[in-house]
């Protein structure tokens, strides 16, 4: 059985890892792999730097500071906060908090405005019933709920915390996703990610977490999804290659493949994040999703200290992670 401090390192690593991956990947969003490789090499490695605002009309100015959170970190923090204040998943509260963050632009992590949310998320949270219906019937399973779902695994925790009913856990993860993303691929990506993260929190190796997770299915479409993703990750000759444009870049299945590939091949937290960023395309989201897994595996101390010092909202992420663990352990 792991001690509180041992688990805390993994919990902190998960949420801070999401933020670190998100904010260091943000300057490269939409860039192609060769452009990213040239820039990383010119800077002497993957580092934080101030960059031009890709959303110049968002009210945050022309230039953005290094370490600024985008929607990946913002919505992860929203889910963590909602779980804490409701002692579990409350769909109505999560919807309200996401609206505050996405529509009203209120950030839990820094003093600026939140920005960067995808169209599906904005439509799902709008006041327009037609847009909501359009978003929830999206024909493509995009990554907007996958990028925020790591707090679900923290809330369930490893088996020693007592939550072992996988059917119940899967149902809750699906409900969390359906607030904005109801496509079966989005749902299953969230559940597979949660299952892998739970294994990492319990101390399993990346390979064990990816390939030995016991997943419960009620629909054959979900089993096919799991088989496709695990087959991709297990193929040593297959690498995640930039689809070249959206929506391909924003698909949940591809994003999960990138994150699991990075986890499987990483020799360190830094190395894993760089693997995800170098794919190109939706770099902040790939690195955020990978960052949660890498942070759980390598722990908080495995995240470079300079990165931890740079991200804007570091302390908030630490507070949420520690409070979730304390609540689940009855402290």
Say which CATH number the domain at 321 has: 1.10.4080.10
Is 62 part of a structural domain of the chain? Answer: no
Task: Tell me which residue range forms the domain holding 212.
Answer: 4-44+67-329
Is 54 part of a structural domain of the chain? Answer: no
Q: Report angle CA 129, 132, 137 to the nearest 5 degrees.
A: 125
Count of domains for the chain: 1
DSSP string for 140-172? S-BSTTGGG-HHHHHHH-SGGGS---HHHHHHH
C-alpha to C-alpha distance for 44 and 170, rounded to whole angstroms? 42
Is 57 part of a structural domain of the chain? Answer: no
Is 217 part of a structural domain of the chain? Answer: yes
Is 221 part of a structural domain of the chain? Answer: yes
Is 49 part of a structural domain of the chain? Answer: no
Is 55 part of a structural domain of the chain? Answer: no
Tokens (6 digits) for 56: 């110049």
Q: Among positive and negative, which fits the CA dihedral 211, 203, 151, 15?
A: negative
**Residue 56 contacts residue 62 (beta carbons within 8 Å):** yes
Is 58 part of a structural domain of the chain? Answer: no
The residue count for the chain: 331
Output the tens digit of pLDDT for each of the chain's 331 residues.
899 999 999 999 999 999 999 999 999 999 999 999 999 999 999 999 999 887 777 777 888 999 999 999 999 999 999 999 999 999 999 999 999 999 999 999 999 899 888 888 999 999 999 998 888 888 899 999 999 999 999 999 998 888 888 889 999 999 999 999 999 999 999 999 999 999 999 999 999 999 876 665 556 767 889 989 999 999 999 999 999 888 899 999 999 999 999 999 999 999 999 999 999 999 999 999 999 999 999 999 999 999 999 999 999 999 999 999 999 998 8
pTM for this entry:
0.96
- Helix-helix angle 184-201:220-234, to 10 degrees: 60
């Amino acid at each position: 059985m792991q001690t509180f401090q041992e688990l805390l390192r993994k919990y902190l690593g998960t949420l801070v890892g999401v933020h670190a991956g998100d904010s260091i990947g943000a300057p490269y969003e939409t860039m192609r792999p060769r452009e990213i490789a040239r820039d990383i090499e010119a800077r002497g490695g993957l580092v934080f730097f101030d960059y031009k605002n890709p959303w110049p009309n968002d009210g945050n100015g022309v230039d953005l500071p290094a370490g600024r959170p985008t929607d990946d970190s913002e919505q992860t923090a929203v889910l963590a906060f909602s779980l804490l204040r409701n002692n579990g998943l409350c769909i109505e509260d999560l919807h309200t908090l996401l609206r505050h963050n996405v529509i009203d632009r209120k950030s839990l992590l820094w003093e600026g405005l939140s920005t960067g949310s995808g169209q599906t998320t904005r439509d799902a949270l709008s006041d327009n019933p037609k847009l909501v219906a359009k978003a929830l019937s999206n024909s493509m399973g995009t990554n907007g709920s996958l990028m925020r779902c790591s707090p679900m695994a923290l809330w369930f925790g490893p088996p020693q915390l007592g939550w072992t009913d996988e059917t119940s856990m899967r149902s809750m993860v699906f409900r969390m996703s359906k607030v904005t993303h109801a496509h079966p691929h989005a749902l299953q990506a969230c559940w597979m990610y949660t299952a892998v993260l739970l294994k990492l929190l319990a101390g399993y190796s990346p390979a064990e977490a990816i390939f030995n997770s016991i997943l419960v299915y009620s629909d054959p479409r979900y089993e096919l999804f799991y088989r496709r993703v695990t087959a991709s990750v297990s193929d040593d000759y297959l690498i995640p290659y930039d689809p070249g444009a959206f929506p391909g870049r924003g698909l949940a299945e591809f994003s999960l493949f990138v994150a699991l590939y990075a986890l499987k091949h990483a020799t360190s937290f830094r190395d894993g994040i760089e693997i995800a960023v170098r794919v190109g395309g939706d770099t902040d989201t790939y690195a955020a999703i990978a960052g949660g897994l890498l942070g759980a595996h390598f722990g908080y101390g495995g995240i470079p200290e300079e990165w931890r010092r740079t991200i804007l909202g570091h302390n908030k992420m630490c507070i949420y992670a520690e409070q979730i663990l304390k609540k689940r352990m009855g402290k």
